[in-house]
């Protein structure tokens, strides 16, 4: 596709008013700039959502192995780590991160 290709899309009247309103609010020069900004914002939001979900999945996978490793190594420390306390801390963090999805 040529970089200078002109194209147009037809929008319903309500959406045209929305584009014009955003153009004025954002002090942009053209309707095309409004659409470009919207597309960039959509792309960034989608990428963030995918990263957040990947982090959640990795966190869930790590929680089980962390508790298992602590169980296996607890006798070596001689300190008598309270595995229940460690597990409750992990579970508290997991429930907090689930209740605040935008933060983690």
Q: Is the pLDDT of residue 77 over 70?
A: no
Average pLDDT over every residue of 56-62: 85
pLDDT confidence of residue 40 = 92
Average pLDDT over every residue of 21-31: 92
Lowest mean pLDDT segment, chosen from 3-7, 29-33, 61-65: 3-7
Domain membership of residue 73 (yes or no) is: yes
Domain membership of residue 104 (yes or no) is: no
Place of tokens 């002109």: 6
The total of structural domains in the chain comes to: 1
Which alpha helices (H) appear in the chain, and where do they start and end? Answer: 13-26, 31-77, 83-99
Domain membership of residue 64 (yes or no) is: yes
Domain membership of residue 95 (yes or no) is: yes
More confident residue, 44 or 3: 44
**Number of Cβ atoms within 10 Å of the Cβ of 23:** 18
List the domain range (segments joined by +) for residue 87. Answer: 13-99
**Number of Cβ atoms within 10 Å of the Cβ of 34:** 20
Domain membership of residue 59 (yes or no) is: yes
If you average pLDDT over each of 39-43, 62-66, 72-76, which comes out highest? 39-43
Domain membership of residue 93 (yes or no) is: yes
d(C-alpha 10, C-alpha 74), whole Å: 67
d(C-alpha 103, C-alpha 96), whole Å: 10
């Amino acid at each position: 596709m040529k970089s200078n290709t002109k194209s147009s899309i037809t929008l319903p009247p309500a959406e045209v008013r929305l584009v014009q309103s955003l153009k004025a609010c954002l002090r942009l020069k053209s309707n095309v700039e409004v659409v470009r900004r919207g597309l960039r914002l959509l792309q960034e939001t989608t990428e963030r959502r995918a990263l957040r979900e990947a982090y959640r999945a990795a966190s869930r996978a790590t929680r089980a192995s962390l508790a298992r490793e602590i169980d296996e190594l607890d006798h070596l420390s001689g300190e008598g780590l309270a595995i229940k306390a460690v597990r409750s801390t992990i579970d508290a963090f997991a429930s907090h991160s689930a209740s605040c999805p935008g933060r983690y």
